Homo-oligomer: A and B are copies of this chain.
Amino acid sequence: MNIPKTSFPRLVIIGGGFAGIALAKGLKNKEIQVVLLDKHNYHTFQPLLYQVATGGLEPDSIAFPLRKIIKSIPNFFFRLTKVLNIDAENNEIHSTIGKLKYDYLVIATGSKTNYFGNTFIERYSMAMKNVPQSLNLRSLIIENFEEALLTSNFEVRNALMNFVIVGGGPTGVELAGALAEMKKAILPKDYPDLDIRQMQINIVEGSDRLLNSMSEKASVKAEDFLVELGVQIWKNVNITNYDGFLVSTNKDLSFNSSTVVWAAGVKGAPVNGLSEGCVVERVNRIQVDEFNCVKGYKNIFAVGDVSNMVTSKFPKGLPMMAQPAIQEGTQLAKNIIAVLNNKPMKPFKYKDKGSMATIGRNKAVVDLDIWKFQGFFAWFVWMFVHLISLIGFRNKAVVFFNWVYNYIWFDRETRLIIRPFKNKNKESF
């Protein structure tokens, strides 16, 4: 990889997600060369992917060009590539576009969908971890309704209009709420010749409550909101298989569904080449110490979802969410600057700013440390926090405008099948 060699040490960051970006921003104008590698040329604001999937937002408004983030910073480089493996012995990474030496390496590769080994579910269900996947889901949802119009087979039509969301975490809850609002406000008008009451939205959750990383109160209220919107909630149920039509569970319960969205778990997405024992098998995350330093290495760090930092409050590792990723990235930048100045690093301390989930218009739940609230104000706070967290003024403005528009008009105008998913050949029409 043709990155100029300078007198500054070189830090290579793999991944331009929340953690990688926070780290890069923290190293602005320091005596260090930063090379950011990513397989996409944009940063994805993952918390809003579900709104892309349900036609509420343009994909382009939650993505931000990585080159724009780093372009004004001297000594910063970006390369569009996939890292194949790390050769730690030689302080080198191998990628699809060649090798690169590093002085410091930061793995910020995030997480991927965890199917827990079920290849059938992996093949037939939809994930929602990146922009193309969300666009595929958007296409599929609308294609289903177009197809439902055409069939006279009652069973097939029901399956086309039956949505099964696996996993009752924030992603599952938010997607279910958005689908329920489409059912209420959009679909009956778009498909007057289809009985939209037949549409079903199911959330299947393995534990005994939705949002089980949040407070009891948040769970109860979220369930109330969803039931109010007509979502069916199945708790203590695990999906065991899906063949593209039949969804099987470990209970006396099954569904016929053309659309299963798998939001039941994520696992780390580490790169190859770290020594054995670095990666915690169960979650596929890289063990790091309180400085985000990878166990057994001195100049390799991991931040964000892919890293597994164990604290007394989080013995299984910090949650795989934006907040720890951003804080770790920011802190690691400070620590690397400290190292450059021969000062000691400071241990990372996670400051839990709380968590939140939205269910629909005027409906959200927010857990802060000492204050937990639900309803309209929570919904307002949710929007505000997401809006200010989006990177870029243009994105903020476009998302804000779309939200106001959708709120006033009960609309979702990006219900477009730009690239058909079901029958990809249709594209060549």
Which residues of chain A have a CB within 8 Å of any CB of chain B?
1-2, 4, 39-42, 58-61, 63-65, 67-68, 71-72, 77, 79-80, 82, 97-98, 131-132, 135, 142, 146, 149-150, 152, 189-193, 392-395, 397-398, 401-402, 405, 411, 413-419, 426-427, 429
- Partner pick for A146 among B58, B80, B426, CB 8 A cutoff: B80
Q: Knowing A80-B146, A146-B80, A416-B63, say if A71 contacts B193 (CB, 8 Å).
A: no
* Partner among B65, B67, B392, B429 whose Cβ is within 8 Å of the Cβ of A82: B429
Complex alpha-carbon distance, A426 and B40, angstroms: 9
Known contacts A401-B401, A427-B132; is-contact A150 B2 (Cβ 8 Å): yes
Query: Beyond A65-B413, A80-B417: 13 further Cβ-contacts under 8 Å?
Result: A2-B149, A2-B152, A40-B417, A41-B416, A41-B417, A60-B416, A67-B415, A98-B150, A135-B418, A392-B413, A394-B405, A394-B413, A401-B401
> A185 CA to B60 CA in the complex, in Å?
20
Q: Do residues A190 and B401 form an inter-chain contact, with CB atoms below 8 A? A: no
This chain: how many copies in the complex?
2
Q: Quote the shortest CB–CB distance from A232 to chain B (angstroms).
A: 26
In angstroms, Cα B402 to Cα A394, docked, is: 8
- Cross-chain contact B39 with A418 (CB below 8 angstroms): no
Contact of A413 among B68, B131, B427 (CB under 8 A): B68
Residue of B nearest to A189 (CB): B71
Chain B residues with Cβ below 8 Å from A79 are: 146, 149-150
